[in-house]
Structure formats: C-alpha cells, structure tokens
Amino acid sequence: MKNKKNIFIAVVGIIIVVSVVLMGFKDNYASSVNNSNFKANNQEIVIGAVLSETGMASIDGNNIKSGIEFAKEELAKKGVKVRVVYEDDQTNPKNTVTAIQKLVDINHPQALIGPTWSFLADAAGPIVEKNKLVTISPANTSEFVTTNTDYFFFGAPKNTAKEVETTKWIKERDLKRIAIVVEKSGWGESHIVPFENAIKNAGAELVFTERFNFSQNTTDGGDLKTIILKAKESGVDGILYTGFDQSTAVLIGKKQELKADFQILMATEIPLGLQKRGVVHITDADNMFALIPQDSQSFNEAYKARYNEYPGSYADRGYDSLMLLVSALQNKGNMNLKDYLKSNSSPKYKGYAGVYDFDQKGDIKDSTWKVVKIK
C-alpha cells in the first residue's frame, strides 16, 4: 500500500514538473526560437526602418512594424538596448530613396529594415549601395527584386521552394484540373513557374492561368470575381492562388457565394490572418489551404499571448529581421556586417521563417514551407 502511495506521489510530481516546463516553454518560445546569444549592452544599437505605413502597401508595412516592435520588447527583456527609427515611404519609390538618405544623414543607422514591396526595394538599391548600408527586406526575395547590390538581404523564404509542397498537395488531394490565379505583381508572377512545375510533376492538367489587378476595395473584386466564376464553369477542381489581403477576402467570399466545390491552395499565410481576425469565416468543408513558413503558427501564438490579437502577414519576418540584425551586430567581431551575414563560418540565426543562412544573392538558402488547412 505504501509503495502504491509513493508511486502515486512520484507520478503526480512528474506531471507537475512537466507541466511547469511546458508552460515555461510556451511563454518563452518567442525568445528561445533562435540559437543566438544576445548580450546586454550599454551602447544603443540603432536600426533604421523604411516601411509603407500609409499607401497601397500599408497593410504589409504595418504588419512588419508590429513584428519589429515585438522583437524590440523581447530584446529589452535581455538588456539589449535597440532604437528603431521609422520612416514612412507612403508606398512611393521616390519617398523610399529620400527616407533612406534622411536616416543615413541624421540617425546613422547600423543597418536597415525594409522597404515593404519589391518595386520600393528596386528604388532603394542604388542608395543602399552608395551608403554601404546592410538592408534586410522582410517581405521580398531576389526572385522579384531586380536591384543589384551586395547589401540587400531578403527575409522571405523563396517562392520556388513552394513547388515541392504544392506538388504534394495536388497529389494528396487527387486533383486533376488546376487553374493558376495570381495578382499582377512581381511577387505574384514569381509563383507561376513553380506552380506550373508542380502541376506537371503531379500529373495534373493546367486548365488556365489568369492574372488580376490589385484591388484595395474588399467589396469589389473586379475581374477576380469573373475569374472565380470561370473556374467553376470550367470544371476546375483546384486553384493555386496568390494575392494580398483585400483580394483574398474577395476570393474567399466569391467561392462561398457560388458554392464552388474546387479546392484552393493559397501561397501565403494571409487567409489564416483574415480568419483569425474575423474578416472571413472559413470552414473545414470549404477546402482552403495555405502555404506558410515552418514556424509561422508558433509566432502567431506567441504574438497572441503578448498582445491578445493575432498578427498579420510578414509580422514574423519583421520580428526575425530585427533579431537577426542585432544578433549579427553583436557577434560579427571585426568582420564587415555584409560579409558576416554571407560567411559560411558565421553562426546562423534560427527564426520563425527558417534558418537565415544567406546565399550570394541575399536569399535564404534552405527555404522551407508547409501546407496547413484553414478551418
């Protein structure tokens, strides 16, 4: 009897210890996701951030900013003093250039985060090169940014890496007739080849490819609504899609309105954010899926625990961008920051979007994605 009592007490003790450890893990995931040792500092680290806080790209710009602010709070807990100086380029390339030069002249940042979209990054290239200012652009890759400078690094996993998971999705869902629907942008266009390859690899048929215009009005999807109707009438059983917040809300609403039974794989975590914020209501029966970076869901839960709301797209990469730069600045020693980030021997920062091991184009080498069902 005594032995049974001792065993019971031991089991209860183990359960309590495990529960405490798991609770601690959950609470500290945001600060432990990386494998870098941050050091408390007396001298403030200054980072510039040129983002689109207003204008067409403002949703993404402000999402990135929210991730940066979360990271800054986490660093402050470690005794790391960081000042982020923001400039709003209003989604205007001319303002992007002016804002960067203003930061350089007045604030002397040690590195830069931004700009938000690819055409803004293209405008930033020459001024970044001129000032030898290491810049990480959280929402972009070299696949759709044409500027040529060694000082640009990209925080988004490459879109070509989506081919493998897209192929698996088509095969696992046993889809035969696929349509590609992308928004007219460099980012959207960069998905077409990997999507085409995935359809071919899965032995399915590409029924049509359509490009639609960006719409800021969530109630008027323009030609996107016509494309969704075309997909239903063409007997499509799967759609591979890219688009931003407004158009994605229109796409979801139109599919539900038409009671269309085709399945959709969205090459972005945007629909997950729309669902969590109550902008759309997606059920299991809607058969909608999203391609997301490996640890985006972990970031979302950590952000929700801190702010009691879910983040928007690219907030995880905004978080990673600041953490990465601070880690590199603290650990590079006498190396030039640019060379350190591209060095094969330097420690690699592990963030929510993956391991930031950069190739010579400034892209994440081993870009990884996973498919999740939205419900």
Last residue of a domain, one of 268, 286, 316: 268
168 plus 151 within the same structural domain: no
65 plus 118 within the same structural domain: yes
What gap in Å lies between CA 242 and CA 212, rounded to an integer? Answer: 10
241 plus 343 within the same structural domain: no
pLDDT digit string, tens, across residues 98-115 = 999 999 999 999 999 999
CB atoms within 10 A of CB 258: 15
Domain-embedded: residue 27: no
Structural domain boundaries, residue 338: 45-156+298-367
Q: Which residues pair with 369 in a beta bridge?
A: 293
Label residue 200 by pLDDT band (50, 70, 90): very high
Q: Which residues contact 136 (CB under 8 A, 6 or more apart)?
A: 111, 112, 113, 152, 153, 154, 155, 321, 324, 325
Label residue 17 by pLDDT band (50, 70, 90): very low
pTM for the whole structure: 0.85
Domain-embedded: residue 289: no
Domain-embedded: residue 17: no
| Residue 293, preceding peptide bond in cis (omega within 30° of 0) | no
Q: Total domain count for the chain?
A: 2
Domain-embedded: residue 14: no
Domain-embedded: residue 7: no
Q: What percent helix, strand, coil does the chain show, rounded to 5?
A: 45, 15, 35
Q: Which residues pair with 142 in a beta bridge?
A: none
Report the SS3 class of residue 332.
Answer: coil
Mean pLDDT of 205-214: 92
Residue 303 · residue 28 · CB < 8 Å? no
What gap in Å lies between CA 373 and CA 375, rounded to an integer? Answer: 6
Last residue of a domain, one of 223, 247, 268: 268
312 plus 238 within the same structural domain: no
Higher pLDDT, 248 or 10: 248
138 plus 179 within the same structural domain: no
- What 53-58 contacts at long range (C-beta under 8 Å, 24+ apart), as own/partner pairs, is 53/86, 53/88, 53/90, 54/88, 54/90, 54/91, 55/89, 55/90, 55/91, 55/92, 56/91, 56/214, 56/216, 57/91, 57/116, 57/117, 57/120, 58/91
CATH number at residue 51: 3.40.50.2300
